[in-house]
């Protein structure tokens, strides 16, 4: 099964982002836009994982989550991979506590390795983002990145991580992956000074 670990995007943040992106969609038919149901912040993409390893992931991810406090995050800006002039992925960035988010991603990846599922993207730097669209052939999306670069969403608190299974689409061109949460684990709640 194809797995990844992520932080969910709350409805309010998704509403705001959808409102910002919706006007651009009709002008960019060459992009395959992701749906709200696919919006998440990936901490570690694990790729294909067998049942045995999958069963060992839960306790490892629970420990990883418990080591990190809830995080303030928000969505903002825009960019593209590998570059806006020849994009295959259009994204919005993740604002907040970059070091803490990177540390959480590293803990999740370490837990996955210990469970026997080395992250598929191991060795690449962690670049927090939310994928807005993809394209098969490289596309110059610089005007779109410019248009979305000023976007700044309302902050929220990430309180848990999810292990998600990705069911790949059938052979139809507009099919999208379907996601199924297999488990979720809370981040540590920080003590409030003076209480």
Asked, for residue 194, whether it belongs to a domain, the answer is no
Active site residue 174: no
Q: Which residues pair with 91 in a beta bridge?
A: 79, 131
Q: Which of 68, 129, 167, 174 is catalytic?
A: 129
Q: Are 109 and 119 in contact (CB under 8 A)?
A: yes
Could you tell me the CATH number of the domain that includes residue 56? Answer: 3.90.1140.10
The reported pLDDT for the residue numbered 123 is 75
Asked, for residue 162, whether it belongs to a domain, the answer is yes
* Count of domains observed in the chain: 1
CB atoms within 10 A of CB 50: 10
Asked, for residue 20, whether it belongs to a domain, the answer is yes
CA angle 52–50–159, rounded 5-degree value: 85
| Residue numbers of the domain that contains 160 | 2-169+177-186
pLDDT over 70 percentage in the chain: 94
Asked, for residue 49, whether it belongs to a domain, the answer is yes
Asked, for residue 142, whether it belongs to a domain, the answer is yes
- Six-digit token pair at 34? 């992701």
Compute the distance between CA of residue 92 and CA of residue 76 in angstroms, rounded to an integer.
Answer: 6
Express each pLDDT in 100-130 by its tens digit: 999 999 999 999 999 999 877 777 889 999 9
Q: How far, in Å, are 32, 99, 117, 185 from residue 177 at the CA level?
A: 12, 30, 21, 23
Q: Give SS3 for 86.
A: helix
Active site residue 40: yes
Asked, for residue 83, whether it belongs to a domain, the answer is yes
The model scores a pTM over 0.75: yes
Q: Which of 40, 68, 167, 174 is catalytic?
A: 40
Asked, for residue 192, whether it belongs to a domain, the answer is no
Report residues of the chain scoring pLDDT below 50: 193-195
Asked, for residue 195, whether it belongs to a domain, the answer is no
């Amino acid at each position: 099964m194809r797995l990844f670990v992520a932080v969910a995007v709350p409805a309010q943040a998704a509403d705001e982002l959808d409102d910002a992106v919706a006007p651009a969609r009709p002008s960019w038919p060459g992009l395959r836009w992701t749906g709200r149901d696919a919006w998440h912040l990936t901490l570690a993409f694990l790729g294909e994982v067998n049942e045995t390893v999958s069963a060992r992931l839960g306790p490892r991810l629970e420990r990883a989550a418990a080591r990190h406090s809830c995080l303030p995050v928000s969505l903002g800006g825009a960019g593209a991979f590998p570059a806006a002039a020849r994009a295959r992925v259009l994204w919005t960035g993740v604002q907040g506590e970059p070091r803490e988010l990177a540390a959480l991603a590293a803990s999740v990846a370490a837990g996955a390795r210990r469970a026997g599922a080395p992250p598929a993207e191991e060795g690449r730097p962690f670049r927090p983002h939310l994928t807005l669209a993809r394209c098969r052939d490289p596309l110059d999306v610089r005007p779109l990145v410019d248009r979305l670069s000023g976007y700044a969403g309302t902050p929220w608190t990430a309180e848990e991580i999810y292990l998600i299974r990705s069911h790949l689409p059938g052979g139809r061109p507009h099919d999208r992956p379907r996601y199924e949460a297999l488990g979720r684990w809370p981040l540590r709640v920080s003590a409030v000074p003076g209480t």
